[in-house]
Chain A
Amino acid sequence: MRRLFDEELDELDNGFTEMGILVSNVVQQSVDAFINHDRQAAQNIIDHDHDINEREIQLESKSFEIIALYQPVTTDLREVVTILKAVSDLERAGDHARNIAYSTIDVKGNTRVAEIETELAEMGQLTTKMVKQAIQAYVDKDEEAAKTLVEVNEQLTAFHDQILRASYDNIAKDTGVLIAAMNYNKVADDLIRIADYLINVGEWIVYLKTGQIVELKLMK
């Protein structure tokens, strides 16, 4: 039986997926802007950050409304709760993409280190891939795919540590790269934070499917 509730839930579900795609695009754009030293694109990201925040508020309001009017239980409740929780994680991921845009603006005009930027580009591409993977896992309601996000996260952590080390080494050799290197570290931190939020989204997908609240990193 198709319930009125199912239509409301579909609307919420689509809204969440759209927000996921929006965040995924912003992460991609922020990484590209940083790598291409594209100050204009970075400013564009900063100017549009509120789009993501508004989406979050819309989806939260819709979730509260559904809970109040339909009093969902079991998987219905889990779907609403998943979105209510995961939407905050997406929004925070979006905030870190915006931070990368700020770093792009900060670093412009300073001496740069090509080898670290290559590493960052790779790390950025991998993070972008991870966002897409997380959103796809949500769309497919696939908890096994959600669990594999941890593996990507491990690769990203390795990149992060490498970039930090390379930045310090370069500062030691030439203080002229200080501003650029500090920003490399910031961007690597932002990317790792984005990955953390995606792991959270993955945990909510597992909750959605199983009712279990898990820590994916501890399950490895």
Chain B
Amino acid sequence: MSAILETHDLHVYYGKKEALKGIDLSFNEGGITALIGPSGSSKSTYLRTLNRMNDLIPDVTVTGDTLFRGQNIYSPQIDLVTLRKEIGMVFQQPNPFPFSIYDNVAFGLKLAGNQNREYLDQVVETSLKQAAVWDEVKDHLHDSALSLSGGQQQRVCIARVLAVSPDIILLDEPTSALDPISSSQIESTLLKLRADYTIIIVTHNLQQASRIADRTAFFMNGEVVEIDETKKIFMNPAKKATEDYISGRFG
């Protein structure tokens, strides 16, 4: 199977500081990959490199290749709006726009010029259903998204990403601001999505990684120490550093 997304010798520098030291990883279509590691290990930097979110930070240098379906996403021909439609991102803090639930989910499509009401209705419903929040919001789609609980907001944000039919969903600690019930709803949502989307999630919650991820990559000091099937990582990792980290000896 060919990779949908891969990075080769990826380096990221913040000014002179080297945050990522040559990352070679590849992601096949579908499934969930968790990125774990201590704070400052640059796993979020890596995630943000995958849809060029780091472009927004001044003084960042990226070298190496990041290929999405074989095409380098840092090449000048790449349209950033299209790229971020294909590779969506969900952040740590739920960040709904101060619009209605409906308009939040329809936002990307409207931005792309879609005005067909029937089509929008259908996509909004499907996306909210996929994000497992439809039943909770269907009767007040036109209320402000800000009136929802944190967990509901986060699922609406996932629906907003899904509405533009991405191939890849990046999530940066999507449940760290949520209570356990909301977290578990997000996890169930991701488990349903993993058949149709390639999901890459940064998490500090190791149990979350072990519950939902097919593969887990352990980052430390800007390098990937080890990537393997999640079961292997949590039961019998190859590297001592991995073992020490996941059994709480440091980090």
Contact = CB atoms under 8 A, between A and B. Distances in A.
Given A211-B235, A211-B236, A74 B247 contact: yes
A218 interface: no
B234 A74 contact: yes
B210 interface: yes
Given A3-B249, A71-B207, 7 more contacts: A1-B249, A5-B248, A74-B243, A75-B247, A76-B247, A211-B235, A211-B236
Nearest to A74: B243
Interface of A: 1, 3, 5, 71-77, 211
Contacts of B206: 73
Nearest to B244: A1
A211 B231 CA distance: 12
Interface of B: 206-207, 210, 234-237, 243, 246-250
Contact of B246 (A1, A74, A211): A74
15 contacts: A1-B249, A1-B250, A3-B248, A3-B249, A5-B247, A5-B248, A72-B247, A73-B247, A74-B235, A74-B236, A74-B243, A75-B247, A76-B247, A77-B235, A211-B235
Contacts of B246: 73-74
Nearest to A6: B249
Contacts of A3: 248-249
* CB-CB nearest 10 A-B residue pairs: A211-B236, A73-B234, A74-B243, A76-B247, A1-B249, A73-B246, A74-B247, A73-B247, A1-B250, A3-B248
A92 B234 CA distance: 31
B43 to A, nearest CB: 19
Contacts of A1: 249-250
A72 B248 CA distance: 9
Nearest to A72: B247
A84 B210 CA distance: 22
Nearest to A210: B236
A75 B246 CA distance: 11
Contacts of A5: 247-248
A95 B150 CA distance: 57
B133 to A, nearest CB: 29
Contacts of A75: 243, 247
A82 B206 CA distance: 23
Nearest to B246: A73
A72 B207 CA distance: 10
Q: Which of B207, B210, B247, B249 neighbours the largest number of chain A CB atoms within 10 Å of its CB?
A: B247
Contacts of A211: 235-236
A91 B199 CA distance: 48
Q: Which of A3, A74, A75, A76 neighbours the largest number of chain B CB atoms within 10 Å of its CB?
A: A74
Contacts of A71: 207
A73 B206 CA distance: 10
Nearest to B206: A73
Q: Which of B235, B243, B248, B249 neighbours the largest number of chain A CB atoms within 10 Å of its CB?
A: B248
Nearest to B242: A74
A1 B234 CA distance: 19
A5 B246 CA distance: 13
Q: Which of B207, B236, B237, B246 neighbours the largest number of chain A CB atoms within 10 Å of its CB?
A: B236
A71 B237 CA distance: 16
Nearest to B249: A1
